[in-house]
Structure 1
Amino acid sequence: MRIVDGPFADFDAELVSVHGVRLTARVTIFGRETTVDLHRDQLEHPEDIPELWFSGAEDDGQVLAGLRERVAAQFDDVGYGEKFEFFLERADRPEEDPAQEWDAYAALCADVRRRKEVALRAFDQEIAPLPISEAGRRMAADSGRWLPAAAAREERRSRYPAIDRPDAEGRLLATIFGQPDPPPTLWERADRRRAAARSAAELRDYAVWKVTNPPQDHSAAVAQVERERAAIEERLARDWGFRLPDSIFRFRGFLLSLGPAEKQALEDLELVPFGIMDLFDDPARNARAGIDVRVHGRYYRDPPEFLTFMHGGSDGLHFGLWYDDGRTCAGVASYYNNDGGGVGLPSRTPLEVVRDTLEWGWRHVGDQDDEPADPMDLDVVARRHRLRLLREALMTVETGDRDEQGEDYHNAYRHSPELLERGDPDRIETLDGGGALVDGDTLIERGRQRPWDDYDFCTALQKELTDDLVAREARIAEARRRCAAGHPADALTLGRDLHWISAGDPELERHANELLTMAYRALGRDNLAAIAQAHHRHRDLPQVHVLEEI
């Protein structure tokens, strides 16, 4: 057996005993044997092992369903191998017509699917009517017919002995001694060949599709944005005290210029304009009676510096313009309100965020693990065409000089090593991950804010602030004293920390609001102080949409 999960991943093992879904196996590490306890899901292809077939099943119905699933999985495995072997055979050949190569691959995929359907029909006719013990015996006796994956893998390894990556011990030794990465394996070269064939076929088919889905004229959208700009700028300056950046108006113009296909592509990415974007169509729109309009789109943990403009799908993901000096936008921040992780350092523009999200989703639309989407899945093909059209529309407005796609895009425009190592020189570390723009040292030892949270710092500080009441009160009292003496860094950073970790605790909410209000006023950021107070009054709202219904 081969272990694929846990501390012994990538080691070969010998089955010793089975206990339901648990098992004991023997592994050899640096020449010495030892036994380990595993779950069946930690093994590669547990369905190949008859001793594990009935583990965990409660009745005959579950056993029969499990056997059928194993047949399906076996033919999926064989099909996966055959489809990738298609490109293994061609990995080092000259590329003559990559699009035609993908067409041949698509035909193979159709044949793989047909053979699986034939095998499952045969199972239903020949195996399903048998008693369970006889069904298992019959399948094990004719494994070449019902369980062909193991033999197919061995045959493939014999034909392509170079496809395997270095073994676990080899990789461990290479890491210890700092050996360089080896040249691309046959497996990796085949993967690149497959990607090139897919891209060529998509470009060919996209050109045909685009004839009936032409891009929209952007000029009308630009003119509309210019007409409405003054009113929305006045509204945001009056109620929030913020100056809107040019980038948000480019984002607005981009949205207005999208045709049906591009709009659907944006929905496919689960990106939905929200927050301040709700005011563009009617800048005079007010909040419902008794609610401060400044909390529209403001999630429970949003720092006062955060101004929501887009929702991102599940777990409360949302994006906001970041105003840590109280006036000018420093970039875009985002986080999952219902999940872990901080807002990150502000960077990029709204459209750069859209491009970033598009490229994350681009390569693997409809893919399963390492296998590309079924080339006959017309829904996936249409989604990729729409994303390509959306990318072209976006690049006419921003990022037009960035030709990279997918992982290449992210590799080219990732954070600099210096920023990752040293952090932002202008921002002090905070629990929310956005950093505080303030001069001076703090009594709590903090580094410079990095794009990703410092786990050890965040864990230790949050534990102190939530578990040690005496220490917390002392921190708050000293932050008050130092702020009154003209040093607001402690009040700002600690206030942001407490705001982030409040979790519905009235005491934490009260202390956070007090410190933030004090710090913002000391720094001349009175609009942020007012936003903090408005949010404090409404942190218990059941939803973040508070505008009057149109």
Structure 2
Amino acid sequence: MFDGETIAVRGSTGTTYELTRRGSVYACTCPAWHKQRLPPAQRTCKHLRAHLGDDHEEARVGQTRVAAAHARAVRSAQLAPREPPELRAAREAAVRDAVARFPAVAERMRSVYGMPLPRHIAYAVGFWLGLTPAERDEAWAYLGCGLFGVTEWFEPDGLSRTPAVDERLHGRFRRDPPEFVTVFSGNSDGSHWGLWYDDPHELPRVIAHNWARDDAETGSCRPTLLASLRGRLAECAGQPDWTHAPRILAWLDRVHELELAAHSDERIGPPLPHTHHCLGGMDPRIDGASIPAEFADPAARRTRMAAYREDIPLVRTWLAEAERELAAGRPLRALLFGRELHWFDTDIVGAQLGEQFVDLTSRAYRCTGREPLADILLVHHRHRDMPCVDAYRPASDPPLVLAAGRNDTEELARLLASELDPAACDAALARARSRTAFDLLRPHVAPAAVAQRLATLIAELAQLRRYDLESSEHAALVDHLLAGDVAVGSAFAQAVIADLPELALRLADRVDLESRDGQGLLPLHRATQAGALEVVRRLLARGADPLARDAHDTTAIDRASDLWQDHRAESHALLALLRPAAPPPAPSTTLAAGDRVTHAKFGPGVVTTIEGTGDAAKLTIAFADATRTLLARFVRRAE
């Protein structure tokens, strides 16, 4: 289009719209263009794409959307609580790992489904794997339960799972259409999101959603998974009930920027327009074919619904008409009836029409070159009465693990008398629920396994108390393990994280002050980061060094300072504990250029210049990392 040009186009409903260009702004008078929450220069619509071409529009707005996502990520990061460096590193590692696994997962997708997998889905997986357990516990309320369906292949052992039935059934609910491939689970009523494959030979252009245990109708969302999930999360980020939401939103926005860049790099076309005339939601699409008029008529929709319930002979006449059109090379009617009968799913329909409409629909898919969808339909109908949507066989546990799980101590003792696999003993300890079972297994496991079991028990204890459930048995097991010789580094970290102050104080008396937990934090750093004032006081009394540096090169004082943004009272109290008492004044008359001095935070340095006298003299000091100007009262002569 020329700058200043106006072009009239006709929409799919017959309405005439105007396309205009004013400099870098390409506009359309359709509602879709006007309702977009983007600057005018970043908007597009199906009419602009039809006139200018997908390549033109993707080149024009694709990168600007990435830039807009980057701006959102920056804003979210500014508003979110500051993340500890080890958490930031763990999040970024989760994304890298998910992207690194993508080639193997994409190959599995092609071998199982015969369909391509978009690379942008790896970033959505990395986002979820980068959340902490506490964040996932809360995110359940507004995002859902997490990875489900093909995205489970991204998990560390996902590709090694053994299917009990055809893998294409995993995550496929009873009324899901063949075009729907599950990638994420909601939190209730069978809510789930999936990639939508109009053409199984192309990368999917949109994410779809379905409430399997509600109306089971499928609706389209956004082109990527994180874009589809973001809206609900953004609403929760400002509510006081969702304490983790601001941090989760900031992390999602950071990864969404990467997700959009991957989507743009793959040059995936825009979402195709979908009508919703047939029962069950999104209509099947065939280029150049129009939905029959009777399907677009609401009254006819009600007529079909009644016929599926009560008038099977009439339905057979409709299927015969669809059969004739299919024989003439027009498969759309067959696909529409097939989709409706698949969704309607009553015993009568299944018993009297099942084989007929499934055969008709599968042939209609093959007529359009969509063989993978036909194969999904056939395998789905053979297994529609599966009791659940998990297609993988549970791993068979060794007898020792099973005995520990059911607390059969006699069988446990008998099995332990024979030669044993150390891994089986460790797994049995993780299942043990009684002091007797612990005592039987303890001589056969590594000390690290006992320490990990103690940490796990503490996490379970915190969860029970959080929901006011009976926890005395767990507390007794924790006491029993602590009565022996066990390393408590991981247990201490877990007690602090889970906000169990009494237990944290007990463990503070015996934790190794030089030990580092799984995230590289020393005990004092862990307690300081959690704002556990009394625990910090106990550790300092034992001789913990507030200037010691953890694996991320931060001191406990640094951790206390980081709390100031969101927890000012705790930060001030911790800093008062952690900062050494002010050193005695070093009058400038006793110091000269070249003298060596030391500072509580910056360490040793050399005086280069002096201005003034007394305690208020300004000293320019060259420290190991930088040159700073300080008052004389804050330093002392190095010994």
TM-score, with normalisation over the residues of structure 2?
0.44
What's 1:16 paired with? none
What's 1:357 paired with? 232
What's 2:456 paired with? none
What's 1:435 paired with? 283
Summarize deviations over 1:311-349 as a string: whole Å, max 9, x none: 111111111111121232121111211112621135331
- Contact 1:517–1:532 under 8 Å retained in 2: yes
How far apart, in 2, do the equivalents of 1:347 and 1:508 lie? Answer: 35
Deviation at 1:246, TM superposition (A): 2.2
| Residue 503, structure 1, aligned to residue 503, structure 2 | no
Give the counterpart of 2:378 among 533, 537, 541. Answer: 533
More deviation, 470-479/209-218: 209-218
What's 1:308 paired with? 182
Gap change, CA 1:455 and 1:353, over 3 Å in 2: farther
What's 1:121 paired with? none
More deviation, 313-322/335-344: 335-344
Which amino acid counterpart does residue 386 of structure 1 have in structure 2? H
Q: State the aligned residue count.
A: 305
Determine which structure has greater relative contact order: mean sequence separation of CA pairs < 8 Å that are 6+ residues apart, divided by chain length: 1
What's 2:133 paired with? 260
What's 1:394 paired with? 252
Gap change, CA 1:346 and 1:461, over 3 Å in 2: farther
Q: Which structure 1 residue ranges, 5 or more long, are not aligned? A: 1-202, 366-380, 403-422, 448-453
What's 2:211 paired with? 336
Structure whose CA Rg is larger: 2
How far apart, in 2, do the equivalents of 1:204 and 1:249 lie? Answer: 26
How far apart, in 1, do the equivalents of 2:163 and 2:243 lie? Answer: 41
Which amino acid counterpart does residue 130 of structure 2 have in structure 1? S
Gap change, CA 1:219 and 1:284, over 3 Å in 2: closer
Deviation at 1:216, TM superposition (A): 4.7
- Contact 1:494–1:515 under 8 Å retained in 2: no
How far apart, in 2, do the equivalents of 1:489 and 1:444 lie? Answer: 12
| Residue 515, structure 1, aligned to residue 388, structure 2 | no
What's 2:503 paired with? none
- Contact 2:146–2:185 under 8 Å retained in 1: yes
Summarize deviations over 1:56-106 as a string: whole Å, max 9, x none: xxxxxxxxxxxxxxxxxxxxxxxxxxxxxxxxxxxxxxxxxxxxxxxxxxx
Gap change, CA 1:489 and 1:517, over 3 Å in 2: same
Summarize deviations over 1:452-480 as a string: whole Å, max 9, x none: xx975643432233322222101101111
Give the counterpart of 1:485 among 305, 316, 328. Answer: 328
Which amino acid counterpart does residue 109 of structure 2 have in structure 1? L
RMSD (CA atoms): 3.3
Deviation at 1:297, TM superposition (A): 0.7
Q: Which structure 2 residue ranges, 5 or more long, are not aligned? A: 1-76, 261-270, 396-639
Deviation at 1:288, TM superposition (A): 4.0
State the SS of the aligned residue for 1:446. helix
Give the counterpart of 2:111 among 211, 235, 238. Answer: 238
How far apart, in 2, do the equivalents of 1:443 and 1:233 lie? Answer: 37
Identity %: 31
Deviation at 1:401, TM superposition (A): 13
Alignment of 1:186-201 (within 5 A): none
How far apart, in 1, do the equivalents of 2:293 and 2:385 lie? Answer: 30
Summarize deviations over 1:363-394 as a string: whole Å, max 9, x none: 6x5xxxxxxxxxxxxxxx4x522011100000
How far apart, in 2, do the equivalents of 1:304 and 1:503 lie? Answer: 18
- Contact 1:325–1:525 under 8 Å retained in 2: yes
What's 2:391 paired with? 546
What's 2:223 paired with? 348
How far apart, in 1, do the equivalents of 2:84 and 2:101 lie? Answer: 33
How far apart, in 1, do the equivalents of 2:339 and 2:249 lie? Answer: 37
How far apart, in 2, do the equivalents of 1:275 and 1:212 lie? Answer: 32
Summarize deviations over 1:2-32 as a string: whole Å, max 9, x none: xxxxxxxxxxxxxxxxxxxxxxxxxxxxxxx
Alignment of 1:45-64 (within 5 A): none
- Contact 2:120–2:259 under 8 Å retained in 1: no
Which amino acid counterpart does residue 175 of structure 2 have in structure 1? R
State the SS of the aligned residue for 1:314. coil
| Residue 320, structure 1, aligned to residue 194, structure 2 | yes
Which amino acid counterpart does residue 167 of structure 2 have in structure 1? V
- Contact 2:102–2:119 under 8 Å retained in 1: no
What's 2:304 paired with? 461
- Contact 1:265–1:390 under 8 Å retained in 2: no
Which amino acid counterpart does residue 521 of structure 1 have in structure 2? R
Deviation at 1:395, TM superposition (A): 0.5
State the SS of the aligned residue for 1:358. helix
How far apart, in 2, do the equivalents of 1:394 and 1:356 lie? Answer: 11
